[in-house]
Amino acid sequence: MSWNPELYHKFKKERFEPFKDLMSLIVVREGLRVLDLGCGTGELTEMVLDMLPQSEVLGIDSSKEMLEKTSIKKRPGLNFELCPIEKVSGGWDLIFSNAAIQWVSNHEQLIPGLVSLLKPGGQIAVQLPANHKHATQTIDSELAREEPFSSALGGWSKEWPVLSIGEYADLLYESGAQDINVFEKIYPHVLENIEAVIDWLSGTALLPYFERLPQELHEDFLNSYRERLQDLYPEVPVFYPFQRIFFSARMPQ
């Protein structure tokens, strides 16, 4: 999928808040081997290295566009690799991920697989968006079922693999982890107008549609999306509550 780092970073301030909350879950220790899943442009990967003395952090991502921006950040202890989350291996003291695993299917298999890569005492700490039931994100699947988009997409619409917090807690427990902490949080963003909502989603959740729709339908799709958003949000500014899931757990020593 083709990511646009500039568009993604347009909402840096809003996207940084959940990252701070994720960082507060990380147990600070020294000399760790750390893996950042879906590191994007690597800013957050670097911040985690800065909080963990004498550690080595590897950021992995499947997007060349995002990873290109990491080249200037490389320094001792900080490395980046083109690698899909589905293919990670090795033994880690900390595996963390901010806003990335929602792009990987089958969390029932993914979470136990990640936990199995933790060393004794190792920690997993994850933040993932869980806003797919919000109207701003059900509009896109609604449109995908309508013509001309339905035929162009061959009946496809984006299904998010995100589970409930109870299911994440079960998966962590069944994988042998302890100190389990799982919760949801709503970030009450107030955006200037619906164009800001469109920019936000064009940088993430709408990307799978742009990837599959022929170029000549991109504008029609966005215009139809805009019309429905306008009905939903007739006034400005726009209250855009954004729900996210956090989980953290550690393996026994």
40 vs 122, which CB is nearer to ligand SAM?
40
Among 25, 58, 78, 85, binds ligand SAM (CB under 6 A): 85
Binding-residue total with ligand SAM (CB under 6 A): 19
- DSSP letter at 99 equals S
Smallest separation, CB 66 to ligand SAM (Å): 4
Give residue number: closest CB to ligand SAM: 40
Tell me if 84 contacts ligand SAM by CB under 6 A: yes
Smallest separation, CB 79 to ligand SAM (Å): 15
Cα of 131 vs its chain's centroid, Å: 11
Q: Are 253 and 120 in contact (CB under 8 A)?
A: yes
Tell me if 206 contacts ligand SAM by CB under 6 A: no
140 vs 233, which CB is nearer to ligand SAM?
140
Tell me if 149 contacts ligand SAM by CB under 6 A: no
Phi/psi zone of residue 40: left (φ > 0), alpha (ψ -120 to 50 degrees), beta? Answer: left
Tell me if 22 contacts ligand SAM by CB under 6 A: no
Among 99, 169, 191, 238, binds ligand SAM (CB under 6 A): 99
Tell me if 70 contacts ligand SAM by CB under 6 A: no
Taking CA 153 as the corner, what is the angle to CA 202 and CA 127, rounded to the nearest 5 degrees? 40
Smallest separation, CB 18 to ligand SAM (Å): 8
Amino acid letter for position 191: L
Among 80, 92, 103, 221, binds ligand SAM (CB under 6 A): 103
Q: Are 122 and 251 in contact (CB under 8 A)?
A: yes
* Alpha helix stretches (DSSP H) within the chain: 5-8, 12-23, 43-51, 64-68, 107-115, 135-144, 149-153, 165-174, 194-202, 207-212, 215-232
Cα of 146 vs its chain's centroid, Å: 28
Smallest separation, CB 151 to ligand SAM (Å): 27
HSE value, Cβ hemisphere, 13 Å, CA-based, for 165? 15
Q: Which residues contact 32 (CB under 8 A, 6 or more apart)?
A: 52, 55, 56, 93, 94
Amino acid letter for position 15: R
Which region, judged by CB under 6 A, interacts with ligand SAM, from 69-77, 100-108, 148-156, 194-202? 100-108
Which region, judged by CB under 6 A, interacts with ligand SAM, from 71-79, 80-88, 118-126, 240-248? 80-88
Smallest separation, CB 16 to ligand SAM (Å): 9
Q: Which residues bind ligand SAM (CB under 6 A)?
A: 3, 19, 38-40, 44, 61-63, 66, 84-86, 98-100, 103-104, 204
